[in-house]
Amino acid sequence: MTSELHEAPIEATRIVEPQPKLSWREQRQRRRRRRVWFEEILGWILVPAILVGCYWLLNVGLAAMGTSPEALMEGFRTITDNL
């Protein structure tokens, strides 16, 4: 059995150049862009949660009064049919 020694090629050192300092307008634009993205993501999460919570709260409230959304809709249909 022979063994061969494989050496990895020498990697070039990566030179990281410092980024130029942003102006106050560029900093403000970058903050605004991040805030808009954050608000958009938050909206996609919170709006459905709020809608589901309102539906659940409506059902709980109606159940506490001894009725249901279906019974209310049937009552509205009866009223509109008699008009």
- Is the alpha carbon torsion for 30, 36, 39, 41 positive or negative? negative
Polymer length in residues for the chain: 83
Angle subtended by helix axes 69-82 and 24-64, to nearest 10: 80
Q: What is the pLDDT along the chain (83 residues), one digit of tens a residue?
A: 555 666 666 666 677 788 888 899 999 999 999 999 999 999 999 999 999 999 999 999 999 999 998 999 999 999 999 98
- Would you call 62 exposed, middle or buried from its count of C-beta atoms within 10 A (0-12, 13-18, 19+)? middle
